[in-house]
Structure formats: C-alpha cells, structure tokens
Amino acid sequence: MAKRSQSSQRWLKEHFADPYVKRAQAEGLRSRAAYKLEELIERDRLLKPGMVVVDLGAAPGGWSQYVRQAMGGQGRVVAMDILEMPSLAGVDFLHGDFREQVVLSRLEAMLEGRQADLVLSDMAPNKSGVDAVDQPRMMHLAELAIDFADGHLKPGGAFLIKLFQGVGFDDYIRDMRRRYERVVIRKPDASRKRSPEVYALGQGKRSLPQ
C-alpha cells in the first residue's frame, strides 16, 4: 500500500504540474487529451466543416469538445461511451456499449442513414500496471474499434486510434494497412514520454477489407 500511495502522490504531483493540464483548465477544456487530438488533426488535416465524426470511448469529452469547436458548429459529432458524460453543446452523446446491437441501432438512427467521415478512438482499459494483462485488453478494444469503423465509416474516410506498443501492435498495423490506403503512426507532443501510447491513423478507407 505504501508503494501505491507514493506512486499515486507522484502521479498527482506530476499531473497538476503538467503544462497541458494547466492549459486545459485555463481554456475550459475537459481534458489535456484535447491537445493530442489538436496536433494530430492539424498535422494531417483531418477535419472539414460538415463532417460526421464518431468519438468512441469519449468520456470525459475532451476530444468531442475539441472537434465541435474546430468545426465551428458545422457538421455532426456523436460521442459514445459506457460511462456517463456530462452534456456538451452541439455533441450528441450515446450512453452504452457499441458492441450491443440495440446501441448500434440507436447510433444509426442518430446518424439518419449517414456514415461517418471520421472515427476516433481514445479508448483504453483501466490499467493494472501489468503489461501481460493491460496489453491484451488494449488490443481487444482496438479490434472492436476497427470492426466498428468497418461498418460505420464511409469509403475514403479516416480512422484514428490510440494504441499501446507491445504484443499484437505490429499485426494490428498490418491489418490497418489492408483496410486503408495510408497508415501512419504518430506520437503527439502532449503524450507523456514514458507512456507506451501512440496513435495510428488510417486514411482512405478501402471499400472492402483486403
């Protein structure tokens, strides 16, 4: 318990000293993760007014909030999570598990027959600190996300997902390359250096997985 307490104290000290945390608080953003997305979107020019964007694992809402602001009110943002998320102006929130057909049916009704132009996933499991446990959980979520994009992202669309480097990562990227014309790996400045997280971006969804 003492080690866990010391680790928690170090994390809290680092968290509140983090310049991105301070900036998010000053700018009224829900999480520092918004700055990761901002860099990724600006670098690869992912957003255009009028797009339909689906944000998987959206709580607490930092990514959806940024996308809504960046599109200037033009377009549609649908956020989904199994956790509750306080409402955001201009963002449609769907509370539920997208693996369940009833939830998918509700999403399809909200989209009114349109497919997404961009699917985002910043999902991650609750970390145990044991790589042999955390990595398989992360890759399972990643598989669910890419399956979702297969069915709900329009041909030519883009898919951006957080991944942990480790077992299964290389196979996943190879799978993305079969599905998308262009796949790149990014490590935003706002990602903590010691974190194993990176972001994989697939652009130009192929009509059918190959």
Mind listing the pLDDT tens digit for each residue in 125-164?
877 778 888 899 999 999 999 999 999 999 999 999 999 9
Catalytic residue among 13, 22, 48, 162: 162
pLDDT score, position 207: 85
**What pLDDT band is residue 11 in, cutting at 50, 70 and 90?**
very low
Parse the chain into domains and list their residue ranges.
33-205
Inform me whether the pLDDT recorded for 24 exceeds 60: no
**What pLDDT band is residue 37 in, cutting at 50, 70 and 90?**
confident
Residue 55, judged by CB atoms within 10 A of its CB (0-12, 13-18, 19+), counts as: buried
Asked whether 148 and 56 are in contact (CB, 8 A), the reply is yes
Which one is predicted more confidently, 11 or 85?
Answer: 85
Inform me whether the pLDDT recorded for 183 exceeds 90: yes
Cα angle 157, 160, 193; round to 5:
160
Annotated binding-site residue? 11: no
pLDDT score, position 130: 83
pLDDT score, position 73: 78
Mean pLDDT in residue range 26-40 = 68
Q: Mean pLDDT across the chain, nearest whole number?
A: 85
Determine whether 205 is an active site residue. Answer: no
pLDDT score, position 15: 47
pLDDT score, position 160: 97
Percent of the chain past pLDDT 90, that is, above it, reads: 57
Annotated binding-site residue? 61: yes
**What pLDDT band is residue 192 in, cutting at 50, 70 and 90?**
low
Annotated binding-site residue? 157: no
pLDDT score, position 6: 58
Which one is predicted more confidently, 7 or 113?
Answer: 113
Annotated binding-site residue? 175: no
Q: What is the DSSP string of 147-182?
A: HHHHHHEEEEEEEEEEEESSTTHHHHHHHHHHHEEE
Residue with tokens 């190879």: 174
Annotated binding-site residue? 122: yes
Instruction: Copy the structure tokens of residue 165.
Output: 């480097």
Which one is predicted more confidently, 185 or 210?
Answer: 185
Radius of gyration (C-alpha) of the chain in whole angstroms:
17
pLDDT score, position 126: 79
Architecture per CATH, 33-205: 3-Layer(aba) Sandwich (3.40)
Ramachandran angles phi, psi of 157, nearest 5°: -75, 180
Inform me whether the pLDDT recorded for 17 exceeds 60: no
